[in-house]
Amino acid sequence: MDKFRRPVKSKDNNEFVFGIRAVIEAIKAGKEIENIYIQRGLSGDLIIELKSLLSGTQIPINNVPIEKLNRMTQKNHQGVIAVISAITYQQIEDIIPMIYEKGEVPLILILDGITDVRNMGAIARTAACVGVHAIVVPAKNSAQINADAIKTSAGALFTIPVCRHQNLHKVALFLQECGLQIVGCTEKTDDLIYAPDYTAPTAIVMGAEDEGISNEILRMANHLAKIPMYGEIGSLNVSVSAGVILYEAVRQKNLIK
């Protein structure tokens, strides 16, 4: 029966659950889902039940041709495959109050469109080293937390909270309401990364290397800051950029100790 389909391993060592009923049961059992792939045009009562169950969750849904599913597994997937996450995602709404209750100053890292798993891992490793309280990523257009990301992070992705949300703009507004300033690391400004006061509650936003931070986030940021460049190469890898600005925050915090 479909409900007893056993998980299989994907090429990047993430675990698959396939078959409509099996995926429904995995969600009901509280399995952390990285992505769900559904065959385009699929219909029926079970698909309606699955989509109803997914409504309101942070799980990314990908409507794909059947050829995509067939490449993922040769088993009888029935048009639905779920990728089980290697980590448990958390909620930033739960984390911020806990930080304040501990008497600590929040330092949050928002990754807006970082899709390379190795960049994700390298950023998480640096974030864990400097004491970032949580990383926030979008539900879609974000690197998958897979074996490569975890290996590159040196295991940091198992220790630092990662929060996945459908709307980063709403997250940023929530953080502002909680007293955090939003600092966007972008070349679209004349202000350098040394200008903001990182000893205050802060959320630093890093954007994708090709498109940068979304305009929606840029418009509502409290500060925009760029890394100074003096050589012939005009940009840094995003994981290196994240390290530069995070360690400026560390430098400022050390000055007041």
Cβ count near 34 (within 10 Å): 19
Global pTM reads: 0.86
9 phi, psi to nearest 5 deg: -95, 140
Band (2; pLDDT cuts 50, 70, 90)? very low
Kind of pairing between the strands at 80-84 and 33-39: antiparallel
Q: Is 130 helix (H, G, I), strand (E, B) or coil?
A: helix
Residue 212: strand pairing partners: 208
**Residue range 143-202, pLDDT digits in tens:** 989 889 999 999 999 999 999 999 999 999 999 999 999 999 999 999 999 999 999 999
Q: Is 198 helix (H, G, I), strand (E, B) or coil?
A: coil
**Residue range 194-253, pLDDT digits in tens:** 999 999 999 999 998 888 999 999 999 999 999 999 888 878 999 999 999 999 999 998
Tokens for 143, please give them: 């690197």
Band (3; pLDDT cuts 50, 70, 90)? very low
Distance CA 132, CA 126 (A): 9
Distance CA 106, CA 118 (A): 25
Q: What was the pLDDT predicted at 14?
A: 61
Q: Where do the domains of the chain lie, and which CATH numbers do they carry?
A: 2-84 (3.30.1330.30), 92-255 (3.40.1280.10)
**Among residues of the chain, what percentage have pLDDT more than 70?**
94
Q: Which H/E stretch holds residue 84?
A: strand 80-84
